[in-house]
A and B are shown apart, each in its own frame.
Chain A
Amino acid sequence: MFEQIFDTALFDSATRAMIPILLAALGGMICERAGVFQIALEGIMLAGAFAAVAGSYLALNSGVGVMFGVAAGMLISLALAYGTVTRKGDSIVLGIALNLLAMGLTGFLLPQLFDVRGVFQHARIDGLDRIAIPGLSQIPWVGPVLFDNTILTYVALLLVPALWVFLFRTPIGLRLRGVGERPLAAETLGVSPTVYKYGAVLTSGALAGMAGAQLSLGNVVQFAENMSSGRGWVAVVAVMLGRAHPAGVLAAAALFALAEALGFRFQGNGLPVQVTDALPFVVTLIALIAARKRFARLLDLTTSA
């Protein structure tokens, strides 16, 4: 029974499910560190997925598609940065509005531009190729799961250690964390919170846009209405659960992806779709509640010390 479920195919589908969540969550993590609550990941991911398909369709090139996805993500996040940083608006209200905007806009543009409803598939859309890394991809089990994937998969995985070093070992990372914690203190030392917050929000837009491109050009080659289907929200939770640390965020994203992959597998085994679709979110809930307990215990320890 166990071996029937946990096989290479499961981990392969888990990796594919993880990459969009991971990319978006890493972006959310940077925002969190800069003191901006990034809750628009879902909408940015969806807009990125749409723009990536559109770009790839127009240029017949997946690279252009990814760039379109990144650009769309940055455009939406620019609105978020302007609203929350420059105009000092509420990031939650604005984030929700942008999520709704992305859903409505992609739903509107789909029939307008491509004359289809629901799902857009076309031979002109160039998908991202799987690039097998010579040598590494030959490793049994791990090789085909991790080292025979799209370029964005490698980007996401490499970003984990890169952002770790960036946040905790570089001057810019230190200043970013300082801005997030005490913007006024940072300002008195000549570090502009505005600049750092804009940088963080735009970066998260680029990463969540990239996540969308992986979704619509990597995992599948098509755009479907509302195809992000909650992954952006899961990414928001992954940031919290992973305590805005690259390793924590990776672990949280992996956990949710595994739940999603298991859901698919159980679906194949005859469980109702509604139940299996709910699985990642059930895991999210449980993880949040469990983490809450851990935080409480941690708080208890620090205050009684």
Chain B
Amino acid sequence: MTFELELRGITKRYPGVLANDAVDLAVHPAEIHAIVGENGAGKTTLMSLLYGLFPPDEGEIFIRGEPVRFDSALDAIAAGLGMVHQSFKLFPTLNVADNVVFRQEPTRRGLIDRAAGAARVKDLAERYGLAVDPEAAVEDLPVGVLQRVEILKALYRDAQVLILDEPTAVLTPQERDQLFEVIRRLREAGRTILFITHKLGEVMAISDRVTVLRRGRAVAHLTTSETDPAEITMHMTGRAVDLDRRAPEHQSDQVVLEVGNLTVLGGHGRPVVEEADFEVRSGEIVGIAGVAGNGQSELIEALCGLRETDAGTVTLSGRDITHADVTERRRAGLAYIPEDRYGVGTTRQASVAANLMMGHHRRPGIQNKGWLDRGAVAALARRLVEVFGIKVASVSGPVETLSGGNLQKVVVSREMEHQTPLLIAEQPTRGLDIGAIEFVHGQLIEYRDRGGAVLLVSAELSEILALSTRILVMFEGHIVACLDPRKVAEPEIGLYMTGSHLENQVA
């Protein structure tokens, strides 16, 4: 049997790094093949090599048994490959059809034949269940639909092999299920799908076979029906990992954070958070779920003092901090792990030690009569580096040389060091690999077990479900549900996240 696609001994070296080390990959026709691995395992490099974005140092690529050489993505497209990148490559002001036909426009007498283009797009969309209006402007479409446009682009160019790079990272559970339906239809139509992910649930749900990458090497070729998440994780990390920990909770009645009817107005005076009402007790993790942009960021900013509160109250350990500034809030007992670790969480050009010291700079011992004690700063930094296992060459080196996971450890360790009653963690594991996620989760749980109150915002439902004592769901600025993670399944949360529960009530 000929493979649809085969890579043999693909090697790519970067100065000091072996990004891909003699990787073999064989994909059957009409199969859904998952490629899994931690961040930095070489998934993206491998796909970029396959897609002709840069050449491999060694190794060969075969398509249907024929050796091929790609000098650019155009060659790959011509050979029947299509790639849906993680960040979409679309033109916002153009409509769907123009985006799809771009550079392969059907023409009549030198002018673009828009009717023919739209018809072709509509035809493809219907055949594979990719509901999308060819005339709609791309900038008005939600992320899930944008992804369909990207898939249509590949299909319009007759892609036989479709590479999807972390396609579910930006989707709601409903959108994800729709995507899976499309993928299955494509397989039925004889197309081959390469599905890059690090979410094992999806691997199990959708793939036929799995190739696991670890540190640039393909360490396992598995058949999905004959394996399980534990085995895949073993291969990914080289050890056993337990991500699913609903450890016994030390719940208490001591309210740490009390938010009363909090309203925050956005531009044009429209409320972005409306009458949010909840509390966080000591020894619990309250998770806030929601599709990004439904007021979570604004809520957190208001709690942290980065944004004006327009109505309602915020009480922290019995102190009214509704209109307090950031310094007062922090003094009242609040630490904050911001969503954006590059722009907000750290100062990129400052040293690791300086970044670890920030916020601790008023502490006696660190500061002495207005002067920073450099020795004490270095000691603090070295201690945190050791306790949290941050991999750095030197604490005096700039923080920008750190990997995403290590950078996040800098932020997490610094904020935890405050040992405040309340910790606000915003997307604390976004973009991290399994090892780093496990670490951050462990830290949050430890914080909780020490009696801390944690407010966790995450777009990752599995994270919310695994960590939370209670789950709040935000939709269009409202907290629309308060759920018990032991009694609720993902799809139900998804309904609240997309506002579908409202339709159900009406019906």
Q: Which A residues are closer than 8 A to B by beta carbons? A: 165, 169-171, 174-175, 177-178, 181-182, 184-186, 188-191, 300, 303-304
Residues A304 and B107 in contact in the complex (CB < 8 Å), given A174-B98, A178-B102, A181-B91: no
Query: Does B61 belong to the interface (CB within 8 Å)?
Result: no
A300 to B267, CA, bound (A): 9
- Which residue on chain A has the smallest CB distance to residue B270? A304
Q: What per-residue 1/0 map shows which CB atoms of B265-280 lie under 8 Å from chain A?
A: 0011010000000000
B93 touches A181 (CB 8 A): yes
- Which residue on chain B has the smallest CB distance to residue A165? B111
Query: Does B319 belong to the interface (CB within 8 Å)?
Result: no
Query: Does B74 belong to the interface (CB within 8 Å)?
Result: yes
Residues A182 and B90 in contact in the complex (CB < 8 Å), given A170-B111, A174-B98: yes
Candidates A174, A175, A182; contact of B89 at CB < 8 Å: A182
Point out the residues of chain B lying under 8 angstroms from A171, CB to CB. Answer: 103, 105, 107, 112
A175 touches B102 (CB 8 A): yes
Query: Does B94 belong to the interface (CB within 8 Å)?
Result: yes
- Which residue on chain A has the smallest CB distance to residue B72? A190
A174 touches B112 (CB 8 A): yes
Point out the residues of chain A lying under 8 angstroms from B110, CB to CB. Answer: 170
A181 touches B92 (CB 8 A): yes
A304 to B103, CA, bound (A): 34
Point out the residues of chain B lying under 8 angstroms from A170, CB to CB. Answer: 110-112
How many residues belonging to B are interface residues under a CB distance threshold of 8 Å? 23
- Which residue on chain A has the smallest CB distance to residue B83? A188
Point out the residues of chain B lying under 8 angstroms from A304, CB to CB. Answer: 268, 270
Candidates A169, A178, A184, A190; contact of B94 at CB < 8 Å: A178
Residues A188 and B94 in contact in the complex (CB < 8 Å), given A169-B111, A171-B105, A182-B89: no
Point out the residues of chain A lying under 8 angstroms from B72, CB to CB. Answer: 190
B105 touches A188 (CB 8 A): no
Point out the residues of chain A lying under 8 angstroms from B482, CB to CB. Answer: none
**Complex A-B, nearest 10 residue pairs according to Cβ-Cβ distance, in ascending order:** A185-B89, A190-B74, A171-B105, A169-B111, A189-B103, A181-B91, A178-B91, A188-B89, A182-B91, A191-B103
Candidates B92, B103, B112, B153; contact of A190 at CB < 8 Å: B103
Q: How far is the CB of B451 from chain A (nearest CB, A)?
A: 43
- Which residue on chain B has the smallest CB distance to residue A178? B91
Can you report 14 residue pairs joining A to B where beta carbons are below 8 Å apart?
A169-B112, A170-B110, A170-B111, A175-B102, A175-B103, A181-B91, A182-B90, A182-B91, A185-B90, A188-B85, A189-B102, A190-B77, A191-B103, A304-B268
- Which residue on chain A has the smallest CB distance to residue B107? A171
A177 touches B103 (CB 8 A): no
A186 to B103, CA, bound (A): 9
Q: How far is the CB of A174 from chain B (nearest CB, A)?
A: 6
Point out the residues of chain B lying under 8 angstroms from A184, CB to CB. Answer: 89
Q: What per-residue 1/0 map shows which CB atoms of B254-270 lie under 8 Å from chain A?
A: 00000000000001101
Candidates A169, A177, A188, A300; contact of B73 at CB < 8 Å: A188
Point out the residues of chain A lying under 8 angstroms from B111, CB to CB. Answer: 165, 169-170
Q: How far is the CB of A301 from chain B (nearest CB, A)?
A: 11
Point out the residues of chain B lying under 8 angstroms from A300, CB to CB. Answer: 268
A200 to B112, CA, bound (A): 20
Q: How far is the CB of A180 from chain B (nearest CB, A)?
A: 9
A77 to B379, CA, bound (A): 58
Given A177-B91, A182-B92, list of 14 further CB < 8 A pairs? A170-B110, A174-B94, A174-B112, A175-B103, A181-B92, A186-B102, A186-B103, A189-B89, A189-B102, A190-B73, A190-B74, A191-B102, A191-B103, A303-B267
Q: How far is the CB of B299 from chain A (nearest CB, A)?
A: 20
Residues A303 and B73 in contact in the complex (CB < 8 Å), given A170-B112, A178-B94, A188-B89: no
- Of B77, B91, B105, which is in contact with the most chain A CB atoms at under 10 Å from its CB? B91
Point out the residues of chain B lying under 8 angstroms from A185, CB to CB. Answer: 89-91
- Of B92, B102, B105, which is in contact with the most chain A CB atoms at under 10 Å from its CB? B102
Candidates B94, B103, B105, B270; contact of A181 at CB < 8 Å: B94
Point out the residues of chain B lying under 8 angstroms from A169, CB to CB. Answer: 111-112
Residues A303 and B268 in contact in the complex (CB < 8 Å), given A169-B112, A170-B111: yes
A189 to B149, CA, bound (A): 14
A186 to B73, CA, bound (A): 12
- Which residue on chain B has the smallest CB distance to residue A190? B74
Q: How far is the CB of B99 from chain A (nearest CB, A)?
A: 8
A165 to B110, CA, bound (A): 11
Point out the residues of chain A lying under 8 angstroms from B268, CB to CB. Answer: 300, 303-304
- Which residue on chain B has the smallest CB distance to residue A305? B140
- Which residue on chain A has the smallest CB distance to residue B75? A190
A185 to B153, CA, bound (A): 12
Q: How far is the CB of A283 from chain B (nearest CB, A)?
A: 29
Q: How far is the CB of B157 from chain A (nearest CB, A)?
A: 9
Q: How far is the CB of B245 from chain A (nearest CB, A)?
A: 41
